[in-house]
Amino acid sequence: MGRLNINWERDGRQAAYLELPSSTNTSAWQNLRIPVFYFRRGDGPRTLLIGGSHGDEYESQVALSKLAHTLDPHTLIGSILVIPSLNLPAALAGARLSPIDGGNLNREFPGDARGSVTQRMAHFVSHELVPRVDSVVDLHSGGRTLRFHPCTFVHGQADPARTAAFLAAARSFRAPLTVILREDHADVMLDDVVERAGKLMLASELGGSALVTRDTVHLTSEGLRQLLQHLGHMSGAQSSPTTVAPSRVVCVPGPEYYLHADDTALFEPVLELGEAVREGAVVGFYHYIDRVDRAPVPLYAPRSGLLLCVNGQALVHRDDAVAVIAVDYEG
């Protein structure tokens, strides 16, 4: 299945590899090694930080790499487990999905101990790591095909008190937006495993277009610091004031707030992410670069709200997400 040589009771910093045996056309007895970092200082809150579940989402991988190599365990309360690039084969291939088995890691949970590499990776996280922590933070961005106004993501919970706790943690990250959204495929995502275990779950969408920018990495690094403080990992004496505006809480009420492509073309956005938009307003244009007889065609906002997400690269194909509209959350 997998193995990770960490002493969970030892204080200090440990660096190890999550090892997953594999077999491919080019490497019959491959042993996949994924870097993992563990920090502990006594009993206290326990948090798992994950980046790179999708390989082409780089902001989290850079921010968590920086954290893994700078965090001082002597300043902590409790324990923090950091995996900067969980889907390492995909990250090294610059791809969303694993090049080994084509698996989409965050659509394989709770995994399969006897399945493919991606399924065994999901199983290890579900059964070996999630039970060891109180909170899980799975950092995402838009990857190559989407671009988000930076935000944290939470699922609404049946218990209002749990929803409030999730929102408080998400807002402590101080991204411009905190989004309440339950995806159609949530039952095969890590979120579902964590929530069914009664743990706190937080995700994000921190940029996209397969880019790393100074602003998104700074936002992610500062957000992690503020979140870890909120979760109780930092003493009050170590806290530092912030002048960042509170995160605005929004939601995506349903599929009618998504705009999907009906054709293959180049998409030209005309609005900035986070900008207010009215239903029926032009959000961009299709450009048919292969036709002399087709002028640019406008695309219209399906609902009023703010622009949460747009296509991350100019080329769109039929059924691709082109834009997503969010509205203020009324609670």
| pLDDT of amino acid 206 | 95
- Mode of pairing for the β-strands spanning 12-22 and 30-41: antiparallel
User: Could you give phi then psi for residue 237, rounded to 5 degrees?
Assistant: -65, -20
Q: How confident is the model at residue 236 (pLDDT cuts 50, 70, 90)?
A: low
How far is residue 213's CA from residue 148's CA, in Å, rounded to a whole number?
13
The predicted-structure confidence for 4-14, as pLDDT tens digits, reads as follows 999 999 999 99
Phi/psi of residue 156, nearest 5 degrees: -65, 140
**Residues sharing a CB contact under 8 Å with residue 100, sequence separation 6 or more, in sequence order:** 22, 24, 32, 89, 116, 117, 118
Q: Which CATH number among 1.10.3210.10, 3.90.1170.50, 3.40.630.10, 3.10.129.10 corresponds to the domain 3-251?
A: 3.40.630.10
* pLDDT band for position 157 (cuts 50, 70, 90): confident
CATH number of 255-328: 2.40.50.100
**Full 3-state SS string of 43-70:** CCCEEEEECCCCCCCCHHHHHHHHHHHH
For residue 16, count CB atoms less than 10 angstroms from its CB and return exposed for 0-12, middle for 13-18, buried for 19 or more.
middle
Q: Is the pLDDT of residue 44 over 60?
A: yes
Q: How many CB atoms lie within 10 A of CB 276?
A: 10
Query: What is the pLDDT at residue 187?
Result: 85
Residue 242 has pLDDT above 70, yes or no: no
How does pLDDT run across 182-203, given as a tens digit for each residue? Answer: 777 778 999 999 999 999 999 9
pLDDT > 70 in the chain, percent:
97
Q: In this predicted structure, what is the pLDDT of residue 245? A: 77
Percent of the chain with pLDDT over 90: 89
Strand positions, DSSP E, 219-287: 248-251, 258-260, 265-269, 276-277, 282-287
pLDDT tens column, 120-146: 999 999 999 999 999 999 999 999 999
Q: Give the pLDDT confidence score for residue 158 in this predicted structure.
A: 87
What residues pair up with 16 in beta bridges, in sequence order? 36
Phi, psi angles (nearest 5°) of residue 204: -155, 165
The boundaries of every CATH 2.40.50.100 domain in the chain are: 255-328
**Residue 181: predicted pLDDT:** 86
Say yes or no to pLDDT of 117 above 90. yes
Residues 6+ apart with CB under 8 A from 113: 1, 120, 123, 127
Q: How confident is the model at residue 243 (pLDDT cuts 50, 70, 90)?
A: low
- pLDDT per residue as tens digits for the range 302-311: 999 999 999 9
Average pLDDT, the chain: 94
Give the torsion through C-alpha atoms of 62, 67, 68, 73, to 10 deg. 180
Q: Which 3 state secondary structure label does DSSP give 238?
A: helix
> Looking at residue 235, what is its pLDDT?
78
How far apart (Å, rounded) are the C-alpha atoms in residues 4 and 128?
A: 9
pLDDT tens profile 52-91: 999 999 999 999 999 999 999 999 999 999 999 999 999 9
Chain-centroid distance, C-alpha 287: 31
Mean pLDDT to the nearest integer, 203-220: 95
Contacts of 121 (CB under 8 A, 6+ apart): 2, 18, 20, 34, 86, 87, 105, 108, 111
pLDDT at residue number 244? 64
Question: Do the Cβ atoms of 194 and 130 come closer than 8 Å?
Answer: yes
Section 288-294 average pLDDT: 95
**What are 262-283's pLDDT values in tens digits?**
999 999 999 999 999 999 999 9
Q: What is the pLDDT of residue 184?
A: 73
Residue 197 near residue 148 (C-beta atoms within 8 A): no
3-state secondary structure of 257: helix
Q: Specify the domain boundaries for CATH 3.40.630.10 within the chain.
A: 3-251
The separation between CA 48 and the C-alpha centre of its own chain, rounded to angstroms, equals 13
Distances (CA, A) of 149 to 36, 207, 242, 307: 29, 6, 20, 8
Q: According to the model, what pLDDT value does residue 297 have?
A: 97
